[in-house]
Amino acid sequence: MSDVALEDLGCPLDCPRSDETILTGRDLINGLPGTFTIVRCRTCGLMRTNPRPTPGSMGFFYPDDYGPYLGTQVQTTAPRRKLFASLRKAARKLFEFNTTRLPKLPAGRMLEVGCASGAFLHEMAAKGWQVEGIEFSPKAAAAARALGHPVHAGSLETAPAPAEPFDLIVGWMVLEHLHDPVLALKKLNAWMKPGGWLVLSVPNAGAFEAKVFRDSWYALHLPNHLYHYSKKTVRLVLSAAGWELEKIHFQRVLFDPIASFGNVLRKTGMSRLGTRLTTFPEQPGYWRYALYPAAVVAAALGQTGRMTIWARKAA
């Protein structure tokens, strides 16, 4: 840990420096060393991990087998049971597990920030979109490029401006990983056509589950998550970068509380069952249907742990 450089920064909304400590936690996903503190800006309420790994040292916390890189690899083998696969697809539509919910738009130019191994780029290209990606992991970027899509391997900060502006920019569980979200969102704003849509998903640190599980909350993901947004603070950050928040969908999923409970069990020594529960968000299987009614209620109350945000370039 001693060789991982840390930095201590103020609120990115340029508030006067006045923070309260919320909690201290560890990397519970990859099990890498270090203790990290989350603070809340007393002026605007935005929570951030501080001190935090620098942009240069952060790579240490993204091993090649980091979950999201693997989960977005496109399976090239055809499913054996086609009927079963199409039934499952229909059920997914009906139950709205889709965490990639988009406004209804005609196909145009789309950028995905943090496209990982390219599954979503591939899906949108098949629907007629002209797609481009940005991906920090060279290995994941190569996988996305092998599918035939142009992908900038590197950070959003180093990505060159596109040849033409975009109609749609998406980022699935990306914003909370960025060192300078205001700067990044300003850059994306400049790349956008007038009236274009920005669609992002982020964990909801304002949810009941976050308050109950605290440092065991699965979506806390320290130290990779540098900011911990709520409905209120994500609006502030977007607005500081020239975006108007149009809509927030609280996703109808309750996978994170199950995994968080797994983290609690691991701490009390029940490591086998605990570890099994922590893999739940990646493989919920039929349990997702059992949890759905409760998830609908929690989402209606704005209390699920993941939100999808629709924003447009402010006029």
Q: Which of 4, 6, 9, 15 binds Zn ion (CB under 5 A)?
A: 15
Nearer to Zn ion, 46 or 311 (CB): 46
Nearer to Zn ion, 17 or 93 (CB): 17
Query: Would you count residue 39 as binding Zn ion (CB under 5 A)?
Result: no
- Kindly state the smallest distance separating residue 258's Cβ from Zn ion, in Å: 32
Q: Which of 11, 113, 141, 258 binds Zn ion (CB under 5 A)?
A: 11
Stretch that binds Zn ion, among 3-11, 81-89, 168-176, 211-219 (CB under 5 A): 3-11
CA–CA separation, 116 vs 145, rounded Å? 10
- Binding-residue total with Zn ion (CB under 5 A): 7
Q: Which of 4, 9, 13, 125 binds Zn ion (CB under 5 A)?
A: 13
Q: Which of 28, 41, 131, 144 binds Zn ion (CB under 5 A)?
A: 41
Query: Would you count residue 44 as binding Zn ion (CB under 5 A)?
Result: yes
- Kindly state the smallest distance separating residue 43's Cβ from Zn ion, in Å: 5
Q: Which of 30, 37, 43, 130 binds Zn ion (CB under 5 A)?
A: 43
Q: Tell me which long-range contacts 288-292 makes (C-beta under 8 A, separation of at least 24).
A: 288/95, 288/97, 288/253, 288/255, 289/91, 289/95, 291/253, 291/254, 291/255, 291/258, 292/95, 292/252
Pick out residues in 46-65 that bind Zn ion (CB under 5 A).
Answer: 46
Buried b / exposed e along 19-50 (16+ C-beta atoms within 10 A): beebbebebbbeebebebbbbbbeebbbbbbb
The residues facing 128 across adjacent strands are: none
Which residue is it, tokens 């009236």?
195
Six-digit token string for 250: 């609280």
- Kindly state the smallest distance separating residue 18's Cβ from Zn ion, in Å: 9
- Kindly state the smallest distance separating residue 182's Cβ from Zn ion, in Å: 11
- Kindly state the smallest distance separating residue 8's Cβ from Zn ion, in Å: 15
Stretch that binds Zn ion, among 33-41, 110-118, 175-183, 195-203 (CB under 5 A): 33-41
Nearer to Zn ion, 43 or 100 (CB): 43
Where along the sequence are the contacts to Zn ion (CB under 5 A)? 11, 13, 15, 41, 43-44, 46
